[in-house]
Amino acid sequence: MTAKAYVQIIRPSVCLLTVFALIVGGIVSGQISLMQIVSGQAYGTLIIIFLASLAAFLICGAGNTINDYFDYEIDKINAPYRPIPSGKIDRKNALYYYIALSVIGLVLSAIVGWQYFAIALISFAILTLYGWKWKRVFVAKNFAVAALAGISFLAGGLITGISLTTLLLTIVAISFLGTWSREIFKDIEDKEGDSKLGIKTIGTRYSEKKAKMIGYAILILALLSLLVPLIMNTIFADAKIYYTYIGFYVIVAALCLSTLAFKNPRKVQKTIKIAMYLVTLMFLVVALL
């Protein structure tokens, strides 16, 4: 057992992405003002943001740990280098580690506020259910991953109260739908392995053509959801913000629609992932302008 293994099992890069989504959500919702933080006028808020970020990191880490705990038998075949199957972490100790991370994360989220605690508790429940059962349940697997992607941004609007702006709800929607679409193409990519393991997914239940149609239908809905701020006149007041949003939207839409020409589902889901990063950057830039 090594400290490195305990760091590895939580997948810190994934946890940091969760924290990043939280911060972006906070900025987009207006709950986090970088100008006030830099000027030293929001010292108390900065502490709350730190506690919220740490709670998100730990709860995400707990979810990744329990995922490896339940995937022990599968990982012995597919990923023997992981901490549990490689013997670097005893399976029982991994369970204790999950409990410790969960308790600390939930306690910290409760300190932040009841709204944030509620969303943290929901995230914790989804992460645990995903690792235990949902990843092998038809559609539930995709829904869980997509929901967690959206919740990461939504949590940013609940750090110091409830601030659910149109821009925040839009990025939550695009994150949910975009991730769901990407997960379907990942299912298509993993069809052979999932079939052997008896895992029911859209990729294994339907033909590749039909599965792709479902994936693209959800992707189109994601792109349409990005038009909501324009339809509701949320960003028309400032020309600079309006044209920045339009510029990013055209790039993101072109990138997503270009995948229609791809035959390889891996290439499709990788491209959608890049588009999702651009969407996050788009909302961050618009919020800071």
How many CB atoms within 10 Å of residue 109?
28
DSSP codes of every residue in 115-153 = HHHHHHHHHHHHHHHHHHTGGGSTTHHHHHHHHHHHHHH
Q: What is the CATH number of the domain that holds 135?
A: 1.10.357.140
**What does residue 253 show for φ and ψ, rounded to 5 degrees?**
-65, -45
* 276-to-77, 141, 253, 255 alpha-carbon distances in Å: 31, 19, 11, 10
pTM above 0.75, yes or no: yes
Same domain, 284 and 151: no
Tell which of 123, 146, 163 closes a domain.
163
How far, in Å, CA of 103 to CA of 59, rounded?
9
The rounded distance, in Å, linking the Cα atoms of 56 and 20 is 10
Its domain, for residue 155, covers 1-163
> Residue 269 is part of a domain; what is its CATH number?
1.20.120
Residues 133 and 179 occupy one common structural domain: no
CA distances from 6 to 38, 63, 93, 103 (A): 34, 13, 10, 17
- Asked if residue 97 and residue 41 are part of one domain, the reply reads yes
Q: What's residue 1's pLDDT? A: 58
State which of 163, 186, 209 marks the end of a domain: 163
Q: What total number of domains does the chain contain?
A: 2
Per-residue model confidence (pLDDT) at position 38: 62
151 and 257, same structural domain? no
Q: What share of the chain is helix, strand, coil (3-state, %, to 5)?
A: 80, 0, 20
Are 141 and 179 in the same domain? Answer: no
Nearest-angstrom CA–CA distance, 204 and 198: 9
Per-residue pLDDT tens listing for the chain (289 residues): 578 899 999 999 999 999 999 999 999 988 877 766 666 566 678 889 999 999 999 999 999 999 999 888 777 776 788 899 888 999 999 999 999 999 999 999 999 999 999 999 999 999 999 988 887 788 888 999 999 999 999 999 999 888 888 889 999 999 999 999 999 998 898 887 777 777 788 888 889 999 999 999 999 999 999 999 888 877 667 788 889 999 999 999 999 999 999 989 989 999 999 999 999 999 999 888 7
- Domain shared by 86 and 227, yes or no: no
- 97 and 118: one domain? yes
**Residue in this structure with the two tokens 């959500």, named with its chain if needed:** 25
Is the same domain home to 282 and 249? yes
Do residues 282 and 252 lie in contact, with contact meaning Cβ atoms separated by under 8 Å?
yes
What amino acid is encoded at 277 in this protein? Y
Q: Are residues 41 and 92 in the same domain?
A: yes
Distance CA 147, CA 175 (A): 8
Both 63 and 139 in a single domain?
yes
Domain boundary among 138, 163, 188: 163
Q: Are residues 125 and 265 in the same domain?
A: no
CB 64 within 8 A of CB 8: no
pLDDT, position 40: 58
> What would you report as the CA-atom Rg of the chain, rounded to the nearest whole angstrom?
20
Give CA separation, 275 vs 15, 166, 171, 222, 278, in Å.
20, 20, 13, 11, 5
Q: Do residue 117 and residue 11 come from a single domain?
A: yes
